[in-house]
Amino acid sequence: MEILAFGVQSDEKPLIEKAFAGKHEVRCLDVFLNQDTAPIAAGYEAVSTSVNADLGSGVLQTLAAGGTQMIAQRSTGFNNIDLDVAERLAMRVARVSYYSPYSVAEFAWTLAMAVNRRVIRAASRTRDFDFRLDGLLGRDMHGRTAGIIGTGKIGEAFTRIAHGFGMNLLGWDVVENPACVELGMRYVEKEQLLAESDLISLHVPLLPSTHHIIDRQALARMKDDAILINSSRGGLVDTTALVGELRAGRFLGVGLDVYEAEAGLFFLDKSLEGVDDDTLARLVTFPNVIVTSHQAYYTQDAVSQIIEATVRNIDDYLAHRSSENVLVPAAPAP
């Protein structure tokens, strides 16, 4: 079978072609799946999509009309997919339920230390041969408190690194992780975690219950000199409220690898045309803020695991097998 893969990065393409070799034909496109590009998939029974694909009702109907019966998303998150519509259209949908949690956890810590130690500002200065230390004062993480919102696999990996720094550990989740408790984590109410943590990192999925989990009230509870890191999903943070707090001079630093309106921006080159998103434009002007373009997962290890799982998802579809990756089980009858 020939698969059409949307939103393939240049680094990702050889890994996809190698993983599919000898099993299926794959055509890689660098364009992302949306209403304008969906007609390209006509005649393809299976398509593979990236995390920022638009898989809303209109796109799904276009795909189905063109003969697509299986969607293999190359990500864990699936908040971009209208699963109810996919089910009505008898389309099978699968995701990647697991890949290296260390990729995201390590990058979250990269953001935390970069804003704490003013690495971007320091590197920019030295390129201009300005070697002053003014404005570069950071602080030790040892002995301070890390608050981890979401203690699944990625949250646990982040917690292990925090434990290595010698930090006090606070956690919040619907279910306690025994491995985190063993490391010394105390599970507390979210309000207490926000008020007591020097560093807060978000590792929960984007659901209706977690949308804007960091809203204006949550931001108000945080310490004025706290660090906030989001490497999960942009919709977890009310960005407009965050900008308001930053304008008031709050927070030691903010590191965002995701943004709630990133679709149509992230993974694309907008340097020659600019962006008309006033909130994002204001956000990146703050000297204590780092915004990266959803790259936390982007290691050779994690991407390879994502692609291997995608191949298995397509193999399972063809063999009429189910797995933990299947979100909508519809499949053609044997």
Using alpha carbons, list the distances in angstroms from residue 188 to 31, 170, 180. Answer: 44, 7, 13
Q: Which helix (H) or strand (E) holds 146?
A: strand 145-149
* Cα distance between residue 64 and residue 244, in whole Å: 43
Question: DSSP code of 154?
Answer: H
Task: Spot the catalytic one: 45, 196, 245, 262.
Answer: 262
Give the separation between CA 334 and CA 328, rounded to whole angstroms. Answer: 17
Active site residue 221: no
Secondary structure (DSSP) of 189-223: -HHHHHHH-SEEEE-----TTTTTSB-HHHHHHS-
Among 233, 245, 250, 260, the one annotated catalytic: 233
Assigned token pair, 50:
């990236």
CB 72 within 8 A of CB 313: yes
Look at strands 145-149 and 92-94 and give their pairing.
Answer: unpaired
Distance of alpha carbon 98 from alpha carbon 138, whole angstroms: 35
Contact 26, 70 (CB under 8 A): no
* Partners of residue 168 on adjacent β-strands: 145
Instruction: Report how far residue 70's alpha carbon sits from residue 270's, in angstroms, rounded to the nearest whole number.
Output: 32
Q: How long a stretch of residues is the chain?
A: 334
Helix (H, G, I), strand (E, B) or coil at 186: strand
Cα dihedral value 28, 32, 35, 36, nearest 10: -70
| Whether 326 contacts 87, CB under 8 Å | no
CA gyration radius for the chain? 21
Whether 233 sits among the annotated catalytic residues: the reply is yes
Backbone angles phi, psi at 149, to 5 degrees: -95, 105
Active site residues: 233, 262
